[in-house]
Amino acid sequence: MSEQDEKLIPKIQNPSRKSIILIVDDNEYGRDIIKRLLIVKGYQLAFAGNGVEALTKAAQLTPDLILLDVMMPGMDGFEVCRRLRQDPILAEVPIIMLTALDEPQARMRGIEAGADDFISKPFDRDELRARVQTIIRLNRFRRLMLERTKFEWVVENADDAYLVVDDDDYILYTNSRARLYLGWDIKSGDNQLLAEKFLDIVKRQYTCEPEELWNNWPKLPENNSPRYLLRPESGQAPTFWLQVDILNLTEPQVNPIIRLRDVTDQMNLERDMRGFHEMVRHKLRTPLLGMLNNLELLAKHGSKMPGEEVTRFAQIAFQSASRLKEQINDVLQYLHAPNLVNTEERFPFALFVINIKNMAETLGIKQLEILGQDGLGNVQFLVSPRTLEVIISEILENAKKFHPQKEPTVTVYVARAGVNKLNVQICDDGIYLSPEQLAKAWTPYYQGEKYFTGEVSGMGLGLSLVALLVREAGGMYAIANRQDRVGVIVEFTLPIEERTELERLNRLTG
C-alpha cells in the first residue's frame, strides 16, 4: 500500500471527506494518466496493480467508485468485478470498466459480472471526467436515500416519541409512538389535528409539570431542568409520566424536534425509593429509640429507682434490642438468600412434610392439615433442605403474624404440576388483601399496613425471600385471596424427581 493510500484510510469515516476512487490497472503508465486527469478535481485516489491488490484495497477503503481495467494478468477485471459483487459491503460500489475490447461479447461479460458502465480505451479525457462525476453524484444520492430510509425506519420504530414542529409550535411530523401518546391513529401516517399547536394538544390530555417551566415553552429551560407531562391515575389506568426534551437548533430553516420519553418506571422507582427509605427509617428507628430511651432513663435515674422499675425498663430495652437484631438479621438473610439455593441437593417429600409439622408446632400453629400426599413417597425436591425450610417458615410466620387472633388454621395442598414439578398451596384463614397489597406482596420491604407505623414486626422481606428462593430454584410463585372464605393462598411450584428404589433403600438403611 502506498503512502497516499494510507493517508486515505483514516478519512473514510469522515462524512465531509472527498470521494475516494480506486484505480485498478496493471500498467503504471495507464494509472498515471488517470491520476493526472482526476486529481485536479479534488478526488482522493488509491491505486492497485492487479486483481488481488484491488480486492484488498477495496475492502480496506470502501471507495465511492472503482475504475477497473479489464485486461490484467492472473485475475482479470471480469473476475475482480464478480468477486466485488459477492461481497455484502462492496456489492453496491459503482464500477466503470476500462477496456480496449470493443466486441459486444466483452461488454456482455462485463454486464454479467456486474459492471455499471464502460469506457473504451483509448478514452476521451472529458468523457472520462464526466462519466466519473455523474456516477459519483448518483452514488452519493443513492447512499443519502439509503441512509434516510434507514433513519426513518429507526425513528418510526423507536421506543421514544419524536415530533417536528414549526416555529409557531404547529406539528409537522410525528412517528408512531408520538401518535400513540397524542391519542391519534397509530397506523396512520397522516398527521391529524395539524391546525392546533403541540402545547394546546397535550394540555387537553396531560398535566404540565413543573408548571413554571412550561410558561416559556418552547424555549429551553434554564439549567436544563426537565419538563414532564403527567396523566394522573384513574380507575382504568395508573399514573403515566412523559419526559419532554426539545432540540432547538440555531441553524435557519431547521425545525425544532421534540422527544417524549416514557419515564413512568423511573418516576415510580424514585417514589418507591422514597417510601423504602421512609419505611427503613421507621423500622430501624422504632426499636432503636425504644432501646436508647429506656437505657437513658436507667443511666440517669436507675440508682434512684425501685428494683422492679429498673427490671421493667431493662426488659423493654432488651426487647427493643432483640427486635432490632431480628430486623437486621432479616436483611442479612435476604441478601445472602441466593447462596442458599443448591439445585444439586435433594430433599425428600417425606422430610418436607415432617418439617412443616415441626415448624407449625414451633410457631404455635395448632390447626394444620396437609392434603394430597398420596403417591408422593418417592418424590424429592431438587433444592437444598435449608431452601425449603426458609420458604415454609416465612409463609407460616406470615400466616400467624397477620391473623387477627394470631391463631390461624393452615391447610397445605400438594399436587403434581406435570411430570417434573410439584405444586404447594398454603392457605390460611387470616385476612383479605386488597388488589394493591396483592400486587406488591412480593416487593422487598413491603408490609401491607393501611397506616404505616413501623410497629409490625419484621422488615417486609418474608414473601420477597420466598420469591427469590423459588425463582433461583427454577420454580414459580403466586398469591391470591381465598374464594371460599377470608384468608390468603400462597402458592409455589418447584422441580422434583422420582427417587430410584436403590436410593430409597439406602436412605432407609442408613
Say what the pLDDT of residue 88 is.
86
d(Cα 21, Cα 232) in Å, to the nearest integer?
Answer: 60
**Residue 434 · residue 418 · CB < 8 Å:** no
- How far apart (Å, rounded) are the C-alpha atoms in residues 501 and 199? 75
Number of helices (H), then strands (E), belonging to the chain: the values are: 16, 18
d(CA 262, CA 47): 52
pLDDT in tens, 286-300: 778 878 888 888 888
How confident is the model over 326-345, as a mean pLDDT? 63
Measured distance CA(34)–CA(75) in Å, rounded: 21
Residue 370 has pLDDT above 90, yes or no: yes
* DSSP E strand boundaries for 220-348: 227-231, 240-247, 257-262, 347-348
pLDDT at 13 over 80: no
The structural domains of the chain, ordered by start, are 3-154 (3.40.50.2300), 161-262 (3.30.450), 268-336 (1.10.287), 341-509 (3.30.565.10)
3-class SS at 301? helix
Amino acid at 367: Q
Q: How far, in Å, are 257, 274, 323, 434, 463 from residue 449 at the CA level?
A: 46, 17, 18, 11, 15
- Which of 20-29, 231-240, 299-308, 470-479 is the least confident region? 231-240
Residue 252 has a pLDDT of 58
DSSP state for residue 340 in the 8-state scheme: G
Q: What is the mean pLDDT of residues 321-329?
A: 75
- pLDDT per residue as tens digits for the range 22-65: 999 998 888 898 998 888 888 899 999 999 999 999 999 889 99
User: What b-and-e string marks burial along 360-372, b requiring 16 or more CB atoms within 10 Å of the CB?
Assistant: beebebeebebee
Asked if 349 contacts 315 with a C-beta cutoff of 8 angstroms, the reply is no
Q: How buried is 216 (Cβ within 10 angstroms: 0-12 exposed, 13-18 middle, 19+ buried)?
A: exposed
For the residues 334-361, what does the mean pLDDT come to? Answer: 78
pLDDT beyond 90 at 491? yes
pLDDT score for 321 = 83
Examine the pLDDT at 151 and tell me if it is beyond 70.
yes
Point out which residues pair with 261 in neighbouring strands. 243
If you count them, how many residues does the chain have?
510
Asked if residues 410 and 363 have their Cβ atoms less than 8 Å apart, the reply is: no
Give me the half-sphere count of Cα atoms (radius 13 Å) on the Cβ side of residue 40: 8
The mean of the pLDDT values for the chain is 80
Which pTM was predicted?
Answer: 0.41
The backbone torsions φ and ψ at residue 175, rounded to the nearest 5 degrees and listed phi first, read -90, 180
- List, for residues 164-182, the tens digit of each pLDDT value: 888 888 888 888 888 888 8
Note the helical H segments in 73-210: 77-86, 104-113, 125-156, 176-181, 198-205
Q: What is the side-by-side order of every strand in the sheet holding 171-174?
A: 171-174, 161-165, 257-262, 240-247, 227-231, 207-209
Instruction: Evaluate if residue 115 carries a pLDDT over 60.
Output: yes
Beta strand pairing status for 44-48 and 227-231? unpaired
- CA-CA-CA-CA dihedral for 269, 274, 279, 280, to nearest 10: 90
Rounded to whole angstroms, the Cα distance separating 97 from 80 reads 11
Point out which residues pair with 488 in neighbouring strands. Answer: 481
Which residue's C-alpha cell is 421507621?
Answer: 282
Could you tell me the pLDDT band of residue 124, with boundaries at 50, 70 and 90? confident
Residue from 86, 81, 82 nearest 67 by CA = 81
Cα–Cα distance between 462 and 390 in angstroms, integer? 9
Closest C-alpha to 248, from 258, 233, 263, 260? 258
Residues 6+ apart with CB under 8 A from 9: 60, 61
